[in-house]
């Protein structure tokens, strides 16, 4: 499909998994009703609570949340990237932070386990040690689909351009970035990073973010957006929960890469 509508879903998820999954499902259905063929949920859309309670939120894939999202994708006939789910890691008390991609038949096309973990201390603003409760993944995941080749990533990955270059080299035309970006780092860097990853890889970039107050005591940034291969923000979510939609034209990827063939000019790998 050369041209189609994509949607980002912005949420303020909390510690009630059933409520979060129900809200996510309703927002995805709303996006599909507006014509979206590709829908992206934010990172940890199904559960956000105190770090000490995370072991009780870990689940398998397939499992309750993945099964619910597969059903929504099937009911709506869409490709759905289910943000991220806390996936059980065999032999470890911690979890993978795993993004799942479902096709219109509800089949799990791919899973991506977040590679880069957010261990940051900004005094007086944000202190997070994601590695205390999460296990890093290893695999770069680019998935050929009827909507083009989709490159999977999660949140903090956005700061590591080498991942996105590897996705582009693997054929990615659309980069997916489910996120829970903090307000301090988001205000400074979110849009710049989203646009940079789109520009330097000459890809569409679809980024869905959490909004509101996180359970860890700091605000999330929101500002979910869709960016074209020239780096223009073509859709942006309003404050609070909701969706934003834009048409994705894969011909724009080919055109930008032809007219400004920077990827073909690489001299360093």
Examine the residue annotation and report whether 81 is marked as an active-site residue of this protein: no
CATH of the domain at 53: 3.60.110.10
Task: Give the number of other Cβ atoms within 10 Å of residue 115's Cβ.
Answer: 18
Considering 37, 43, 54, 76, which one is annotated as catalytic? 43
Report pLDDT for 51: 83
- pTM given for the model: 0.97
Residue pair 17/47 in contact (Cβ under 8 Å)? The answer is yes
If one counts the domains in the chain, the total is: 1
pLDDT tens figures, 105-119: 999 999 999 999 987
pLDDT tens figures, 119-161: 777 776 667 788 889 999 999 999 999 999 999 999 999 999 9
Report pLDDT for 222: 98
Q: How far is CA 264 from the centre of its chain?
A: 27
Residue 77 domain boundaries: 3-265
Report pLDDT for 171: 98
Examine the residue annotation and report whether 100 is marked as an active-site residue of this protein: no
Residue pair 107/70 in contact (Cβ under 8 Å)? The answer is yes
Task: Give the number of other Cβ atoms within 10 Å of residue 266's Cβ.
Answer: 11
Report pLDDT for 130: 87
Considering 155, 194, 203, 241, which one is annotated as catalytic? 155
Question: Cα–Cα distance between 42 and 74 in angstroms, integer?
Answer: 19
Examine the residue annotation and report whether 37 is marked as an active-site residue of this protein: no
The pLDDT profile of the chain, 269 residues, written as one tens digit per residue, is 899 999 999 999 999 999 999 999 999 999 999 999 999 999 999 999 988 898 999 999 999 999 999 999 999 999 999 999 999 999 999 999 999 999 999 999 999 999 999 877 777 666 778 888 999 999 999 999 999 999 999 999 999 999 999 999 999 999 999 999 999 999 999 999 999 999 999 999 999 999 999 888 889 999 999 999 999 999 999 999 999 999 999 999 999 999 999 999 999 97
Strand, helix or coil for residue 235: strand
HEC states along 8-44?
Answer: EEEECCCCCHHHHHHHHHHHHHHHHHCCEEEEECCCC
Question: Cα–Cα distance between 164 and 20 in angstroms, integer?
Answer: 29
Report pLDDT for 263: 97
Report pLDDT for 204: 99
Considering 37, 59, 114, 194, which one is annotated as catalytic? 114
């Amino acid at each position: 499909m050369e041209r189609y509508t994509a949607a980002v879903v912005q949420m303020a998820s909390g510690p009630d998994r059933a409520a979060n999954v129900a809200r996510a499902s309703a927002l995805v259905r709303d996006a599909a009703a507006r014509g979206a063929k590709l829908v992206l949920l934010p990172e940890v859309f199904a559960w956000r609570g105190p770090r000490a309670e995370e072991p009780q939120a870990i689940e398998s894939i397939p499992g309750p949340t993945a099964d619910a999202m597969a059903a929504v994708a099937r009911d709506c006939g869409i490709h759905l990237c289910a943000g991220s789910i806390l996936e059980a890691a065999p032999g470890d008390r911690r979890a993978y932070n795993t993004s799942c991609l479902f096709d219109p038949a509800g089949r799990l096309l791919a899973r991506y386990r977040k590679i880069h973990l957010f261990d940051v201390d900004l005094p007086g603003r944000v202190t997070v040690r994601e590695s205390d409760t999460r296990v890093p993944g290893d695999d770069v995941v680019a998935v050929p689909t009827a909507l083009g080749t989709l490159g999977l990533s999660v949140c903090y990955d956005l700061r590591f351009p080498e991942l996105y270059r590897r996705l582009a080299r693997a054929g990615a035309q659309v980069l997916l970035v489910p996120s829970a970006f903090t307000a301090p780092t988001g205000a400074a860097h979110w849009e710049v990073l989203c646009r940079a990853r789109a520009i330097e890889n000459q890809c569409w970039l679809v980024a869905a973010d959490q909004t509101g107050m996180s359970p860890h005591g700091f605000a999330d940034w929101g500002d979910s957006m869709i960016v074209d291969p020239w780096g223009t923000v073509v859709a942006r979510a309003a404050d609070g929960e909701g969706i934003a939609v834009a048409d994705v034209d894969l011909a724009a990827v080919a055109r930008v890469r032809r007219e400004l063939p920077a990827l073909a000019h690489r001299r360093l790998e």
